[in-house]
């Protein structure tokens, strides 16, 4: 009987502890806007390496297929999973191209913004598939283009870097921060070429104003955008290696993309459009996800199979993630704060050798936002070998 009482008491305390955390966050209103304390003298970066530095490997990808994608397949591939192919026609990209895309620099930014904000965000929706592309030209003009034109202007063999923002980011904020991040990344390695794409998804309203529900909805939406991102990548020259950078909930979109690319399931579905073999690298910043979700049997357990190396930027004092998670009482800790534990490394086995974890707490303190990361030169320097495939 005493053991039963202790079990009931522990379960009661766990459940109420969860709602106390929700109440505390509600009182904070919006933690990312709270006053944030920054450490005055950053200490040297603490590195935790499970593998050697990334080593460049030759690309053996096949040519980009020019056939039209098949329609959405409703029949299950397995009893619990069906395959998804966005029914978006693949245009003949050579018809719309006038000149190749010149690689920009910090003084003359040249990048793309690709948006799923007007696309469906649930596999059961009957809305629009396809993505919108906007070309930010060196003269400062923003021009709307087709994804086919974007793909045709990319130079085969030059790395492509795709950044995915987190939740509660407006279109205007993404446009502003894209230019700032581009300048910071290009300034760090001005002599190295890279082709930048900033991916944006509907991570802001509408809101229920029940914060746990709003956070949960955006987490699921970030996962679903792995389908959109896989379609986007399938349009790019297969000779281009791809680095995926995710911030906050954007890390879920990044890992969802890699998980699907390796044949995994997201929300009970697989991505079935043929994707030529491609080199992938990944960077996770302020990762708003459970620390064990890369482990076998977990949500993104195929993701590491698709990537040759992964950089995790750990911030043990990330304030908005202190109350993570908000929607599930019995979930693990946020990866950004907990890092990869010994148990995680043991479960990952040889796949853990692909991970390099860097503690950037001394640089960021309680900060969480993406500009806090790319404004630190040392942090950008850590990311550069992954972005430029050095």
Domain-by-domain residue ranges, the chain? Answer: 109-387
CA 27 to chain centre: 29
The predicted pLDDT at position 21 comes to 55
DSSP string, 107-128: SS--EEEEE-TTS--STT--S-
- CATH code for 109-387? 3.40.50
The predicted pLDDT at position 101 comes to 54
> In whole angstroms, what is the distance from residue 93 CA to residue 271 CA?
23
- HSE value, Cβ hemisphere, 13 Å, CA-based, for 106: 11
The predicted pLDDT at position 275 comes to 74
The length of the chain in residues reads 390
> In whole angstroms, what is the distance from residue 379 CA to residue 5 CA?
49
Looking at the DSSP bridge assignments, the partners of residue 309 are: 281
- Within 8 A by CB and 6+ apart from 278, the residues are 59, 61, 233, 238, 240, 241, 242, 261
The predicted pLDDT at position 292 comes to 95
The predicted pLDDT at position 362 comes to 97
Per-residue confidence of the chain (390 residues) as pLDDT tens digits? 555 555 545 454 455 555 555 445 444 434 333 333 333 334 445 567 665 444 444 333 332 233 333 333 333 334 445 666 565 544 433 334 445 556 677 778 999 999 999 999 988 888 888 999 999 999 889 999 999 999 999 999 999 999 999 999 999 999 999 999 999 999 999 889 999 999 999 998 788 888 888 888 999 999 999 999 999 999 999 999 999 999 999 999 999 999 999 999 999 999 987 778 899 999 999 999 999 999 999 999 999 999 999 999 999 999 999 988 665 667 779 999 999 999 999 999 999 999 999 999 999 999 999 999 999 999 999 999 999 998
User: Cis peptide before 325, with omega less than 30 degrees from 0?
Assistant: yes
The predicted pLDDT at position 121 comes to 92
- HSE value, Cβ hemisphere, 13 Å, CA-based, for 191: 1
- Within 8 A by CB and 6+ apart from 198, the residues are 111, 112, 113, 114, 162, 163, 165, 174, 178, 181, 182
């Amino acid at each position: 009987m005493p053991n039963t009482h202790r079990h009931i008491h522990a379960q009661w305390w766990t459940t109420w502890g969860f709602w106390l955390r929700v109440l505390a966050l509600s009182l904070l209103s919006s933690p990312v806007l709270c006053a944030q304390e920054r450490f005055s003298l950053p200490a040297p970066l603490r590195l935790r390496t499970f593998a050697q530095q990334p080593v460049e490997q030759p690309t053996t990808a096949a040519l980009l297929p020019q056939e039209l994608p098949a329609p959405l397949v409703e029949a299950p591939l397995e009893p619990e999973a069906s395959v998804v192919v966005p029914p978006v026609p693949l245009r003949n990209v050579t018809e719309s191209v006038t000149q190749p895309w010149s690689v920009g620099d910090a003084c003359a930014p040249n990048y793309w913004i690709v948006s799923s904000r007007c696309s469906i965000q649930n596999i059961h929706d009957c809305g629009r598939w396809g993505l919108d592309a906007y070309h930010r030209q060196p003269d400062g003009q923003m021009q709307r283009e087709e994804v086919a034109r974007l793909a045709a202007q990319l130079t085969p063999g030059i790395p492509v870097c795709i950044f995915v923002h987190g939740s509660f980011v407006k279109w205007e904020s993404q446009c502003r921060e894209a230019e700032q991040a581009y300048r910071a990344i290009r300034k760090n390695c001005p002599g190295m070429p890279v082709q930048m794409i900033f991916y944006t998804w509907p991570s802001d309203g509408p809101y229920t104003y029940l914060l746990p529900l709003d956070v949960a909805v955006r987490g699921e939406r970030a996962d679903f955008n792995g389908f959109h991102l896989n379609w986007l990548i399938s349009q790019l020259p297969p000779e281009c290696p791809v680095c995926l950078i995710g911030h906050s909930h954007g890390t879920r979109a990044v890992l969802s993309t890699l998980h699907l690319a390796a044949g995994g399931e997201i929300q009970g579905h697989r991505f079935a459009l043929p994707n030529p073999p491609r080199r992938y690298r990944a960077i996770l910043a302020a990762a708003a996800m459970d620390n064990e979700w890369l482990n076998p049997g977990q949500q993104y357990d195929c993701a590491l199979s698709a990537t040759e190396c992964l950089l995790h930027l750990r911030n043990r004092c990330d304030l908005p993630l202190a109350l993570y998670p908000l929607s599930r009482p019995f979930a693990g800790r946020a990866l950004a704060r907990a890092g990869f534990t010994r148990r995680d490394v043991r479960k990952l086995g040889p796949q853990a050798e692909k991970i390099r974890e860097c503690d950037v707490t001394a640089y960021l303190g309680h900060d969480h936002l993406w500009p806090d990361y790319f404004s630190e030169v040392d942090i950008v320097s850590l990311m550069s070998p992954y972005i430029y495939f050095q």
